[in-house]
Structures are given as C-alpha cells and as structure tokens.
Structure 1
Amino acid sequence: SLDYDNIENQLFLEEERKMSYMGFRCLEISRWVVCGLIGFLTGLIACFIDIVVEQLAGIKYQVVKENIEKFTEVGGLSISLLLWAVLNSAIVMLGAIIVAFFEPIAAGSGIPQIKCYLNGIKIPRVVRLKEGPMIHSGAVVAAGVSQGRSTSLKRDFKIFEYFRRDTEKRDFVSAGAAAGVSAAFGAPVGGVLFSLEEGASFWNQMLTWRIFFASMISTFTLNFFLSIYHNKPGELSNPGLINFGRFQGDSVAYNLYEIPLFIAMGAIGKNMLLLIFDSLIPLTRVYVHRPCLQVMEAMLVAAVTATVSFTMIYFSNDCQPLGPEHTEEYPLQLFCADGEYNSMATAFFNTPERSVRSLFHNQPGTYNPLTLGLFTLTYFFLACWTYGLAVSAGVFIPSLLIGAAWGRLCGILLATITPDGSVSIWADPGKYALIGAAAQLGGIVRMTLSLTVIMVEATGNVTYGLPIMLVLMTAKIVGDYFVEGLYDIHIKLQSVPFLHWEAPATSHWLTAREVMSSPVTCLNRIEKVGTIVDTLSNTSTNHNGFPVVVKVSGSDEPPKLCGLILRSQLIVLLKHKVFVELARSRLTQRKLQLKDFRDAYPRFPPIQSIHVSQDERECMMDLTEFMNATPYTVPQETSLPRVFKLFRALGLRHLVVVDDENRVVGLVTRKDLARYHLGKHGLEELQLAQT
C-alpha cells in the first residue's frame, strides 16, 4: 500500500516548523508550476501521437486502397487482403513486443491500474516510463515531473525534492490523468470530473483548481501545435485527439417524448459487452503467459480483424452516391458503380475515430440497416476478443463505435415507423448514434457526471446534456444490477484490495478485533540493531508497519504503544548506520534529515542488500526521532464501518488496534478491510493478492 497520510515524526515536524510563510508560498507556486509542466508535456505527447497515427494510418489505407482498386476488375483481391493483414499485424507486433517483453503493466488502457494507484495501492512500475493511452501517459508524465527525476531514464534533476512522498505524488498523478482525458477529447472540465469521479480517492478544493489548470494547458498545447502542423497557425480548431464534430441545425433538436426512447437505449447499452467480457476474460487470458505467445496472439487478432473486415466489405452491396460533401477520407468503390462508394467500407476502412464521426454526421440514408447490424455484431465480438491483449489499448473508442452503430440503426428503424416512411426530426439517425455511443460507453465504464461533460465538450453543444446524463444514469443503474463495470471487473480479476467509498452495508456486526491481523510484530523504542535486522529478514516484504512500544521502567506491565515505524524507514536507518554504540556509551546517534529518506523514495533497497557487521548487530537504535509518535488507533470493539471510514478517508496504510490500557492487540491493513464485500448471499470474504 501507499502512505497517503503524512508521517509526522520529529524530523517532519522540525522541517515544517522551520519553514517560513514565504517558504510555504513558494511550495504552492511550485505545485502550480508542476501542474503546468504536466499539462504541457501531456499535450506534446498527445500531439506526437496524433501526428504519428495520422501518418501511419494514411500510409496503410492509401496503400491498401490503391491495391484494392488495382485488382478489383482484374481479380487478385486476395493479394489486397494479404497486404491489409500483414500491415495490421506488423504494426500491432511492434506494440505487443514492447508490452510483452519490456513493460507488461502497459497492457490495456491503464485506467484500472491508475485507479488502484490513486486508491492507495502500490502497483509495481505502474507510473514508470512506458507506452500507453493518454490517461495512462498523463499519469506517467505527472509521476516523473513531480519527482524531478526519472528512474527509467536514470536521471535525477535535483528539483521538486519536497514532493517525493506518496501524498504529493498522488495529487500530481490525479492531475496527469485529467490532463490525459483533456488531451484525448478536448474536454478540460470533463478531465477534471473524470479524475474526481473515476480516479482520485482523495480530493480538496485547491487540487481542483490545479488539476483544471493542468487540463487547460494540455488541451491548449495540443491545439496550438496541431494548428501549426496543419499549416493553420493560430487557428485553434483541434482541441483533442478525438473529434466528434459539431452537431448543428435540426440534428441538435429533440422532443420531450424522445426522452423515454433515450432512456430505453441507456438500458439496452447497460452492458451487452460486459456480460460477455465477464465470462470470456477469465477463459481467454488464463493460458497465454509467455511473451512470445502474447505477441503471436495479438498478431493473430490483428490479422483476423483485417480478414473479417475485408470479407464484410467484399460481400456488402450497400453502395451510396459519392456526393461533393462526403466526409469519408478513404472511400472504396470496390464493385459499386462509378460515382458510388461501399458504405460498409466507411465503417471498417477508416480509423475508428473517423468512423464514429461519420456515424454521427453522415446524411440519412448513408447506411442501410443490414450494414449497421452486421457491423455492430462483428465489431462487438472483435472488441471482446481484443480486450486484454498485450497491447496498450482501451475500450473507449471501440465502445463509442459500437454504440454509435447500433444507435444509428435505432434511429433508422424509428424513421421507418413514421406515417410517410420519411426521416422526421425526432428520428434523425445521427442524433441516435450519439445517444447510442453514450449508452454503450456509459454501460461499460460506469461514469455519469464526467462522461456527460466529456460528450458535451467533445460535440461542442450543450443541448444533449440532459439526454446524455439520463442515458448514462440508466446505463449505470441497470448495469450495476446485472454486472459490475469493466474497470471493477478488471480490478477484481487481479485480486487487488481496492477500497470503495463505503464499507459493505451489512458489516456493522464485525468489529476491529475480528478483522485485524494478529499477533503483531512490535519493536522497542530503543531496539537492538540485530533484532531489527532479524525482524526485517524474517518477516515478509509485505509486512511494512511495526508498532513501537515502550515498557515502563521498574514495572511488570506489558509494553504500551508509543509510535509506528515503517520498513522503509528502518531500511534507511540501517543503510546510514544510525546506531548507538554501547561500548562507548554514546547517547546520540548520527543525525539524518528528511532528504535522506526522500533520496531513497520510492524504491527502497531490500534488507538483503544492507550489510550489518557482527559488531554493529550489538549496537542499539533509538527510534524516537523517526517513528510516527501519533499513529491512528482504534479500540478493539470499534465496528468495521467506522474502521473502514477512518482508514479510507485519511488514506491510511496501517491502523493500530489497542486495548483499554493502550497495549497493541492487532493491526488493520488494507487487505483486512478489502476482503469483505457484499455479495449475492450477503457479506462475503475474498481471496486477495498480497500488498
């Protein structure tokens, strides 16, 4: 676990008391500077990603399109299929190799991992330098910039050293996640709300302003540099990587009696995808562990995706006229007449972002119902198979595309029930594509507030704010009844001790005595070095907190609690030889500063790497100055919900359980609390991974 509660030992209190008012003001300014840097660098990364993806996709589609056009009349389209599959597999192979062989934690969207990190769970290498979608990339940038160094690059710039602790790092990672959302969707307000709703477990008002500042800088940076790239300097028309286009004219109108239809669509999008994910993910991801097999699996999926897409386009006869205002960047004629293009190719033979935009804004009649129905089913099962591969990819865009497809299909079917068979204002297919996209994504990620604002900002129109909110609330309420959200499923599959906002509703009958870990390994306030070394060596590396006790001189009473010290602190003390030598009867030991602990943060060396001689083992170590002299404690009769609320609200790592005489009887950790959850048969215990 992470320490989101500041360790108030004597060193910390002395440093804080020596700092002047101007010193605190400088620290606050530094926090704003760091947030600005996070936004700027995240925006630059998003700009780089957009340019690279646009160039690679352009090359891929242009080569395949020319090849298809060449062989359409003369035969030999199998060569075009092979070319498409090879290009798909080659690009995916590069990403899969990086993930499988170098950074497995980079697989997926990274959102569940960042969510766990902000909840207080230390996931190894989660914010190390790696590839990843924008939310994960923003968090990685924030973690590196805020610490003034990069472990991956082995560079220490000796700046922002004060922020080298879990509490400060957590706040900056929240800002990085928000900046990533802002850069992806051009939605700075939505980014802040995403970090609040889906990411951060701890919040305050000043953090809101700093995160909003980082989000604004991120989207502005992306906008500014993309305008230069597109030879339109100063024309800030590219606020995000994903551009949904603007809804204008009749397409933004809806009637009161359409709201029940929108709500029904929210119920439909409650998680068709998740119901299958929930049963298939454990089966499809259990047996593929070897990196080479993971790469081959990803390449296989890429090749099959190209084959299925090509087959769907080949057998489709949905030909539409190619008008002067067509939005398809790579229209395929295939077997259509001159001046027409294959509508199925618009959905498959484009980047997903462009396909979503065409489903939102193409004129009525652009797609026939059969095309949309086949595309929805095909893309749905491909998305199920793709999720969990060893590539840095999430479900945001696939979910939007699936939802937009079946949403537009609903709009077309509704249009057919009008008296004259025409498309009326209340059955505009683009409008229903937007609602379907919101319903599908909301059902999967279970976000309401932030996703509403993201969709409003991305479309540039607040008119659909209410319908989208109702759709998302319906998707969440109905979806929660059947199956958990995708991120919660992902977290549960990894057996991570995630703490939700509240304790299980039926847990009041449990007390701290029943959930605590005991017996507890305690240390004396003045302890023998050999005892400390043996304690650290003989206990698991997951054993990180040690209550410090003191025995009343001349009394036979058991020792009483006087503080709490961490394994990492003891490691630093042993490394710096902070000992009292009995032979010389010295009463003082080597003076350390907080800087010594910050220099070792966050990857403290293992006890096996610390050499302690036999003579040094006979020395003593005074823990008074380094322990937290005021740890949080609870009586052993405290109810589980009260323990949970204290632990969760303060971001604790350890909570000491004491008896009426302040003697240690147990220790509550994250795992002790997280193993209880409300299941179908009442309160249940989970088997959790070690933390």
Structure 2
Amino acid sequence: MYFFNCRIHSGAIVAGGISQGKSSSLKIDFHILKYFRTDKHKRDFVSAGAAAGVAAAFGAPVGGVLFALEEGASFFNQQLTWFIFFASMASTFTLNFVMSAIDGHFGDLSSPGLINFGLFKDTPYMWFELPLFILMGFIGGIFGALFNQLNLRLTKFRHHYINKNWLLIIELILVAATTVVIAFLLIIGTMNECRPIKTQLELNSPTIQLYCPDGQYNTMATIVFSTPEQAVRNLFHSEIGTYNPWSLLIFCIIYFCLTCWTYGVIVSSGLFIPTLLIGASWGRLVGIIMHTIFPSSVQYFDSGKYALFGAASQLGGTMRMTISLAVILIEATGDIVLGLPIMIVLTVAKLTGDYFNEGIFDIHIALQSVPFLPWESEVFASQLSALSIMSTPVIQLKTVEKVENIYQILRTESHHGFSVVDHHTDERNDHRAGTFQGIILRHQLITMLRKRNFISFNDCLRDYLTMDDFRESYPRHPPIESVHLTNEEGELYCDLRPYMNLAYTVSHRSTLPRIFSMFRGLGLRHLVVVNDKNEVVGMITRKDLARFRMTHKKGHTSIQELPISH
C-alpha cells in the first residue's frame, strides 16, 4: 500500500543526501559536490528526487516531472524544470537497464516500470459516453471529499486523544487485526464465487483457490489477498462477468473505510495505490451496470475501461491532482486515446471536491502547520498591505558590529536572517536606525564568531572567509552555544559587508498580492519592508504569508489565521 509513497520519499531522501555529499550523522565527508551545499540546491535536489521516484515507479518520466512541479516544488523556473526532467530520464533509463538484466533480456529498455497496470490498446469511446464521464468525475469528487473529511476528523481525534506512543501502537495493532478479520469475513461470505482459470492474465497473476475446485479460483479472495497493484490490474483487464456486483460494492465500501482509517497511523502507509483500487472497484461497478442496461454495446461499455476512469476520478477527488495524474495514467496504461476521458473525469472530480474541502495533502500540511504557500494569493489579499503582515520590530545589525552585540543577539533571538543597516547613524536618537544594506544569515554570523573573523574598530578586514568556510558544517550548522568568547574578543568588531547577502525590498505600502508574487516568482525566503527613506520597518517571511488562509466550504468563504510551526 505504501509503495508509491516509498518511491517518492526514497527519491527525495537520496537526492537530499546527494546534494550534501556527506553524512553528518556518520561524520563522513566525501568532499564532493561542495558547490551544492546550500538550501536552494538541496530543495532542487529533493524535487528532482521525487520526480525520479515517480518516473521509476510508473515508467512515466514526463508524469514524474509534472508531479514534482505540481505537488513537490513551491518555486520553479526553466533551469529547475530541465534539472527535474533530466533526473526523471536518468531514473527511467537506469531502471530499465537494471530490469533488463534481472529479467534475462539484457539491453531491452522497454520496461513498463515497477508498478504495472497493464496496457489498454485501441479502447474506443463514443460521444454519448461523455455525460457518463462527467457523472463519474462528480462521483469521484464526492467520494474524495468524503474521504478527506473523515480522515481530517480522525486525524484531529488522534492528535487529541491518541498522542502517546503506547496508544499509537495499540491503534496500529487494532487496525491490523480489524483488517485481517474483515478480509476473512468478506472471503467467507463470497466463497462460492469461483471462476475457471482460463485467460492469460489469470495465468500470469497470482490467484487464490481457497474453497474452489481445482482449476478455479476465488475472485474476491484474489483481490483481497493480492497486492493493491495486482488487484488494480485485475479490475482493469479481467473479462466481463468476472466479479459479482454486490461483492464488488461491499469490497469498495470496506476498503474505503479501512484506507481512511489506516492513512495517518504510526507506520508508513501510502495512499496513491489504495485510492486507485477504491476508484477502480466502483468504476468497474459502473461498467457492469452500463453493460447490463446496454448489453448490445459491449465494445463501448467495457468494465475495465470504466474501472480506469473510476480510479482516475477517485484520485482526482482525493488528492486534487490533475495535470501530472493525467500524464502518469496515460503513460502507465500506454493508451493516448483515453487521454481526453481521463482529463474530463479528473477536472470534474477536482472541481467537485474543491467545493467541499481541500485536497488530502493540503489538509495534512495545514494540520502540521507547515508554511507551504498556495499557488496564488486570495482575492481578499488586495485589502492587506505589508504593514498588516510584516514582523516587527526587526533586529538590525550595523555593517561593522561589535562582537558582543552579535553574540547576545544570537543567544536571545532565534531568527534565521538579520537585516544589516548603514552604520553612519546618529546614535543620540536611535543607534539601530540607518539605510538598509543587506541581509546576513544566522549560520554566517556563527561561522564568523567560530573562525574569529574579528577586527579592531579602526582597522579594516584583511583575512576573508571563503565559501568553503561557510559550507563545511552544512546542513547541521553548530548552535551559538558552541561559541565561547573571551572578554577581550567581545570588545572587537565584525565587518559584515563582505558576507552580507543582497536582498529584495518592498515598500511598506505594497499590497499582499504583489508581495505574494515576489515570493512565488523569485523563490524568496525573506523580504525586507522599508519606508520612503530606505529604513527597515519590518520583515516578511514565508511563514508570515502562510499564516493567512482562505477556506472554501460548501460555497462559503472564510479567512482564518493558521498556527505555523517553527
């Protein structure tokens, strides 16, 4: 169930480690890729790793690129897009090369990917099926919104009442026991549903005989005890009449409830393939109903085709992905002809689900208080200015600052970035006033203190630190508690001008949509707010923007301020 998530997480973790070229936990440094030891490059590597994981799982390199851009990266440009595309291409090539050696066909690079749903070839559809596709998208949006709402309430219940380790373990045991018991009850209730093994799909797929005679298999037991990937493939390609409609309906309801309960337990559990299986089960049920009503149009009302549309609809209604999911399913099934129906059901499912609540990923991001920016600012944002959302007062450092002042600020403040102002100020009025010069990061200041990069007040800096000095401890920079200064060192000064970073500024009159566009378009982490004299009056971070969220529920819109984790 968690294979798809594992592929994404594995790719992201491996890529994040590659961007460092070292292991902080094992204290091993390979002294490679030092240029990429920055937060920006690490984020790019993580996005590329997620795309590579999707590409390897489904054999869908283009779908992997679109997945990373649609769901994984909060900022992207042409260079990042090419970077992600190259990673997906390399991942697909490497997988196919290795699989050709494992399968005994060395050099055959036509592997369909680790997750194989089987190919749809020349599957027809007619214009009179389009209303049915729209209806299936509507059903998927309703079911997806219901799934998200139930999982949201269950997750809140866990946070409030199941918040101890032993309670989490008990819940896990209860989930496992309940799943096994229900699975056996479902199989026992359908023990007479036997079918002869005769198709090539049944010969190549694992089948379970259970109480059936020799040469036959139990259809429900095969779905329940197969992996979700194999079960989805069976629902896509089994012959008409393989499954009993009532048994399929009961399986869909039970699997829906168990998946909703399982997603969020203490162990790693995926959602992509189980959601596909839920949608494929009720989608095939729709195909069976249409075949029963129109038995003469079997070439159009194919149960497997509608199982695919149901799977796409359920995914779109639950996760609210459209572009990447459409391409992934087209590449995984190998039939571009079905691209239009897949896009129709995904679009309708997303629009229907958005009417009731957000996607499952957005819901859990909000629950974890992660400052993840939406794609665009809300309509209400034009009424807010920088003064409404900025953090103030701002801790400011002079371009040549006393070591003791820097040390005390770092010990008392937890900010990641500090504004640097011109030190030519009138100290009788405000010794921290001055025109804005740039931003210096916390780890840069700590490195300067650790390296004793000090000067006397009337002296000039001669020994400059290099980029390797700032990158050597990345990504786990030492805390300020690791720095110990003598009284004499505290009276010296640090010249911040060679090391401070140029930063974007915005007027205190700027509206929130303009600020939001700058963060999204430029990939910013800090934005300094200045007045007409170019004096710092505030600081805006991604957390400040992510605090305000407009929620849409049942046609009503409300504004709420979210708690943001630090």
TM-score (norm 2): 0.93
* CA–CA separation in structure 1 for the residues paired with 2:25 and 2:329: 36
> What is the deviation of 1:653?
1.7
Q: Secondary structure at the match of 2:472?
A: helix
* CA–CA separation in structure 2 for the residues paired with 1:303 and 1:494: 28
* CA–CA separation in structure 1 for the residues paired with 2:47 and 2:468: 25
Query: Cα deviation per residue 1:530-565 (whole Å; 9 max; x = unaligned)?
Result: 1111111111x2x12211122436786742222221
Query: Cα deviation per residue 1:623-652 (whole Å; 9 max; x = unaligned)?
Result: 111112x32111111111111211222122
- What residue is the counterpart of 1:565 in the other structure? 440
> What is the deviation of 1:158?
0.6
> What is the deviation of 1:349?
1.4
- What residue is the counterpart of 1:11 in the other structure? none
* CA–CA separation in structure 1 for the residues paired with 2:380 and 2:489: 52
Query: Cα deviation per residue 1:82-127 (whole Å; 9 max; x = unaligned)?
Result: xxxxxxxxxxxxxxxxxxxxxxxxxx899xxxxxxxxxxxxxxxxx
Find the partner of 1:609 among 460, 482, 487: 482
Find the partner of 1:596 among 431, 455, 469: 469
> What is the deviation of 1:292?
4.3
Query: Cα deviation per residue 1:194-221 (whole Å; 9 max; x = unaligned)?
Result: 1111212222223333322221221222
**1:308–1:552: structure 2 CA closer, same or farther, 3 Å change rule?**
same
Residues 131-170 of structure 1 aligned to structure 2 (within 5 Å): 133-170=6-43
> What is the deviation of 1:353?
0.5
* CA–CA separation in structure 2 for the residues paired with 1:239 and 1:148: 32
* CA–CA separation in structure 2 for the residues paired with 1:331 and 1:578: 71
* CA–CA separation in structure 1 for the residues paired with 2:558 and 2:200: 59
Q: Secondary structure at the match of 2:358?
A: coil
- What residue is the counterpart of 1:404 in the other structure? 280
1:655 aligns with 2:531: no
AA at the equivalent of 2:373 = L
Find the partner of 1:322 among 197, 208, 216: 197
- What residue is the counterpart of 2:137 in the other structure? 266
- What residue is the counterpart of 2:221 in the other structure? 345
AA at the equivalent of 1:593 = T
> What is the deviation of 1:302?
2.2
Q: Secondary structure at the match of 1:600?
A: coil
**1:571–1:508: structure 2 CA closer, same or farther, 3 Å change rule?**
same
* CA–CA separation in structure 2 for the residues paired with 1:690 and 1:350: 40
* CA–CA separation in structure 1 for the residues paired with 2:40 and 2:376: 21
- What residue is the counterpart of 1:373 in the other structure? 249
Query: Cα deviation per residue 1:421-444 (whole Å; 9 max; x = unaligned)?
Result: 466222110010000011111111
* CA–CA separation in structure 2 for the residues paired with 1:178 and 1:219: 10
- Partners of 2:74 and 2:373 within 8 A in 1: no
**1:529–1:551: structure 2 CA closer, same or farther, 3 Å change rule?**
closer
> What is the deviation of 1:589?
5.2
* CA–CA separation in structure 2 for the residues paired with 1:682 and 1:556: 50
**1:152–1:267: structure 2 CA closer, same or farther, 3 Å change rule?**
farther
1:668 aligns with 2:540: yes
- What residue is the counterpart of 1:77 in the other structure? none
1:385 aligns with 2:281: no
* Greater displacement, 307-316 / 215-224: 215-224
- Partners of 2:12 and 2:49 within 8 A in 1: yes
**1:568–1:509: structure 2 CA closer, same or farther, 3 Å change rule?**
same
- What residue is the counterpart of 1:197 in the other structure? 70
- What residue is the counterpart of 1:22 in the other structure? none
Q: Secondary structure at the match of 2:524?
A: coil
* CA–CA separation in structure 1 for the residues paired with 2:183 and 2:159: 24
Length, aligned pairs only = 555
* CA–CA separation in structure 1 for the residues paired with 2:289 and 2:426: 88
TM-score (norm 1): 0.77
* CA–CA separation in structure 1 for the residues paired with 2:267 and 2:297: 42
* CA–CA separation in structure 2 for the residues paired with 1:457 and 1:228: 23
Structure 1's unaligned 5+ residue stretches are 1-52, 54-107, 111-131
**1:382–1:423: structure 2 CA closer, same or farther, 3 Å change rule?**
farther
Structure 2's unaligned 5+ residue stretches are none
Residues 473-622 of structure 1 aligned to structure 2 (within 5 Å): 473-539=347-413, 541=414, 543-552=415-424, 558-581=433-456, 586-588=459-461, 590-622=463-495
* Greater displacement, 638-647 / 279-288: 279-288
- Partners of 1:511 and 1:638 within 8 A in 2: yes
- Partners of 1:364 and 1:423 within 8 A in 2: no
* CA–CA separation in structure 2 for the residues paired with 1:555 and 1:383: 64
Residues 193-232 of structure 1 aligned to structure 2 (within 5 Å): 193-232=66-105
* CA–CA separation in structure 2 for the residues paired with 1:109 and 1:536: 43
- What residue is the counterpart of 1:282 in the other structure? 156
Query: Cα deviation per residue 1:249-306 (whole Å; 9 max; x = unaligned)?
Result: 5xx1111111211111111111132232233221134433334443443233223212
Q: Secondary structure at the match of 1:464?
A: helix
1:439 aligns with 2:332: no
* CA–CA separation in structure 2 for the residues paired with 1:210 and 1:638: 34
* Greater displacement, 231-240 / 516-525: 231-240
- What residue is the counterpart of 1:255 in the other structure? 126
